[in-house]
Structure 1
């Protein structure tokens, strides 16, 4: 079971990276239908199939590179879904006390909803709220798999900390802050607002006179949301709010990391150091995205490191919960 969960966890990371690559290369509609591609299980390659595909979808002629990006992401996501269902079946058969059925069943339900969001991403032509939801769902699947893996591992460390309960509350709130920041990043990306501000640390011009919060977080009615439908001031507002959220997240998680370094626990000291290092890396990647005009490798890495940061927070929270139990025991 542990190997199966670990394999699924690693595959979930790959799916998140592939999803980011698909989105950032504007390949979200590389296949205008779902679950196949122009009515085929594989991207049409022969001249006859390409001609038939273009005739069936005259408004979106086949671009093989984008279609393959989309389909490879679907293949990996589909494989991940099958592995998760296999985990649930195995958990039901084995009845391991470390793995109550609630978590595998919830994960199966989340995977089904993720599949629906993947379909709606295509059928609703990249509706931003669906694209953002699909991103958050992917991170949710990743966290559930990691939590499942932790439950199957021996508990690390034997420290008893009186401050563990207080730090646990800070860690839970840190996950909430980080989740909100990921959602803001997803909304910014889904609305093609990542380059709405090209200066750093502040936006160009008199940006404060153009703030439009209601417009930035509205969903205008449109036939197609590819490349965004919001105006400049609305996209600039999304970008600025994401930057502000990044500042809040950085300060809070940095303080949490420093707090963990001060505890008399080697395990928590290691966790604090890892949190601070990954947090700094994420901030540097975010700055590089602005300064270097969103290079693909750095933008994809920004998504990957966000996933790593979230996993570190889940690990810290899980370990603190056990330290709290020992302290009270």
Structure 2
């Protein structure tokens, strides 16, 4: 089946917005703007947030604190119902979750911009789903777009939990996981609707296995990175400033850093094998993205984790993840003489 140009374009645009949501979320975190909006989906009870504290009632902290107490209680009960009693109890007893921050216009609008990107990405996924249902009606695409829409709705709901629990670290990791799943599903949909843009490439079974192994390692590396970020959050709460982060990070940081060099070695081998094949330019892009990713990692390690470099580090990790996923879809195993 041939799909229209605008349908293909909308799918690519939706993918771009999903990436922008991930990057905006990272920027929100490094600027400490996650609690810039104390409620969800509105911000201070408004669809367009205020720019000055005077626009809010004097008791705004108490108002939103009460709402948070109710949402946290519901979330804790849900965790308890699925067997996570210890986690539920820890959230109930964490009084820091209920602390409301002072209004800060910069943080509020930073978080609001993040939500706008999320709104655009959500509408893109919804538009793709409706387009498929109304025009193309291909079963595989209906299933994929339906799952992606459900995951996106879950991601939006879970975003409200992240806000309600005052950015409890593990919730942010789960948030990233579902973002990557949504990215993967959207890439797969593009693979189906735009095959001419992603032609199959014949490679040996061993080469495909190498690419797939690197993809798995990069996926794991991204989650190790979120664990490192959680350690940084703990250090910050303990009163250790940015200048002391690098020397106080634990074993997870060491594994994350060391594994990066393993990935570099594997991709260098992959690049060497594919260097003379013009149809394997996607491998060259993978090598370039990893080189930039490692450079940003070195800067993070040696320059006390500068904020904007953290965002760049996540950006190139997500791009690397996306290109590797595209490669696993495009490569087809066939022994080459």
TM-score, normalised by the number of residues in structure 2: 0.76
The CA distance in 2 between the partners of 1:157 and 1:79, in whole Å, is 29
Match of 1:13 in 2: 19
State the alpha-carbon separation in 1 of the partners of residues 9 and 300 from structure 2: 36
CA distance in 2, matches of 1:25, 1:86: 32
In structure 2, how many angstroms separate the alpha carbons of the residues matched to 1:80 and 1:107?
11
1:170, CA displacement in angstroms?
A: 2.5
C-alpha distance in 2 between matches for 1:180 and 1:245:
9
The equivalent position to 1:273 in structure 2, one of 273, 284, 290, is 284
- Residue matched to 1:298: 309
Question: What is the deviation of 1:231?
Answer: 9.9
Partner Cα distance (1:230, 1:166) in 2: 49
Deviation at 1:146?
2.0
Superposed counterparts of 1:55-204, under 5 Å: 56-57=63-64, 59-95=100-136, 100-155=141-196, 156=198, 160-161=202-203, 163=204, 165-192=205-232
Q: Rate the CA distance shift 1:157–1:105 in 2: closer, same or farther, 3 A.
A: closer
Q: Quick one: distance in 2 between partners of 1:254 and 1:17?
A: 27
Report the 3-state secondary structure (helix = DSSP H, G, I; strand = E; otherwise coil) of the residue aligned with 1:293. Answer: coil
Q: For 1:209-248, what aligned pairs fall within 5 Å after superposition?
A: 227-228=236-237, 239-248=250-259
2-side partners of 1:147 and 1:158: how far apart?
14
1:54 Cα deviation from its structure 2 partner: 5.0
The CA distance in 2 between the partners of 1:137 and 1:159, in whole Å, is 29
Among 24, 31, 50, which residue is 1:25 paired with? Answer: 31
CA contact (8 A) 1:254 1:279 kept: no
Q: Alignment partner of 1:31: what SS?
A: coil
Shift of 1:122: 0.8
Contact 1:24 1:296 in 2 (8 A): yes
Report if aligned partners of 1:91, 1:99 keep a CA contact under 8 Å in 2.
no
Structure with more helix by fraction: 2
Aligned counterpart in structure 1 of residue 330 of structure 2, from 310, 319, 325: 319
Q: Is the 8 A contact 2:36 2:111 kept in 1?
A: yes
Displacement of 1:228 in angstroms is 4.5
Between 168-177 and 120-129, the greater mean CA deviation after superposition: 168-177
Shift of the alpha carbon at 1:243?
A: 3.5
Point out where structure 2 has 5 or more consecutive residues left out of the alignment. Answer: 1-6, 66-99
Find the partner of 2:263 among 252, 259, 262: 252
How many equivalent pairs are there? 291
Give, in whole Å, the separation in 2 of the partners of 1:253 and 1:92: 43
Structure 1 residue 293, shift from structure 2 partner: 1.8
Q: Residues of 1 paired with 2:20 and 2:9: CA distance?
A: 17
Over 3 Å counting, the alpha-carbon distance change for 1:250 and 1:103 in structure 2 is: farther
Superposed displacement of residue 46, structure 1? 5.2
Gaps of 5+ in 1: 197-226
Structure 1 260/283 Cα, relative in aligned 2: closer, same or farther at 3 Å? closer
- Partner Cα separation in structure 1 for residue 192 and residue 312 of structure 2: 28
| Equivalent in 50, 59, 62 of residue 56 of structure 2 | 50
* Maintained 8 Å contact 1:50/1:62: no
